[in-house]
Each structure stands twice: as structure tokens, then as C-alpha cells.
Amino acid sequence: MRVFWTAVALLAALLLQTALTQIAPGHARILDPFLIVLVYCGLTGGEMYGMLAGAAAGWIQDIHFGGSVLGLSGLTKILIGFSVGISSTRFHLVEAAARALVLFVATAADALIYTQLAAVFDVAAYEITPVGILVRALVNAVVGVAAYEILERRGRLGMGVRRRA
């Protein structure tokens, strides 16, 4: 069932990113819904689940929004998913502040790793500035923590209803 909900979340991320690209193409890179999904998977499922969600998210992102070389986003997202998953098994990351910090660091790491991999493979990457990374990391942290809270409240409500029945 977890795989099904991850696929639904990745489909929702694809639809959201596509809509953002159509509505505001210049600002579409500020929010990364794929990263938000894979960080949640890493936080809740550990390193293996984070890596698999990262691979799927990265490949979808590469196929639909990538450039001439497929796999750069996939490799980047695998590394981020593994790192978040391994840290979630070592540290207590269930509070909103901890999750916001994880999303902030994961977003910054995603941007930096992607640009470094693009440079290694001599692929043109989008220009990234420290202010751009900061804004992107803040937006992803705020949107991600809000989405996580909504998901977990719905999950608690749903479980509460099942227990009473």
C-alpha cells in the first residue's frame, strides 16, 4: 500500500510541477515537489525507501523537465533520499522544526550536488545563486512541513475513526 501512495504522491508532484511550469515558468524551479515527496519517504521509511523514492522522483523529473542527459536528477535524488533515510534512522526527526531543517538542508544539497554533477558531465545546468538556494530551501521547507502535517493529521484522524468503529 505504501508503494501505491508513493506513486500517487509522485503523480501529484508531476502535476503540480507541470502546472507551475505552465503558469509561472520563471518561478517553477523555486518549489520542488519531487524533493518534498522523497524527503517524506526517507523520513518515514528509512534509507532504502528514500533511495527508491529518490530514483523514481529523479527519473520522472529528468524525463519530463530534464535536459539532454537523463539521470542527473535521478542520481542526485538517490543520494538525497539515502542521506535523509539514514539520518532518520539515527536521529529523532518527527517534530516540525527538525523536518524543516532536513528539507532546508536537502534542498541546498540537491542544488549543489546537481550543479557539481552537471559540471562533471559537462552538461549545462541552470544558474544557481546563494540567494536562489536560500529562497528555494525556505519555500520547500515551509510547503513540505505543511504538507507533512496535513498528511499526518489525516492519518491520525483516519486511524481514530477506524478504532472507534
Has this prediction a pTM greater than 0.75? yes
Q: What confidence category does residue 2 fall into, taking pLDDT thresholds of 50, 70 and 90?
A: confident
Give the integer Cα–Cα distance in Å for 140 and 138.
6
- 134 close to 83: Cβ distance less than 8 angstroms: no
69: amino acid identity, one letter: V
Give the integer Cα–Cα distance in Å for 72 and 79.
11
Identify the DSSP state of 69: S
pLDDT digits (tens, 9 = 90+) for 97-108: 999 999 999 999
pLDDT digits (tens, 9 = 90+) for 14-26: 999 999 989 988 7
All domains in the chain, ordered by first residue: 2-21+31-164 (1.10.1760)
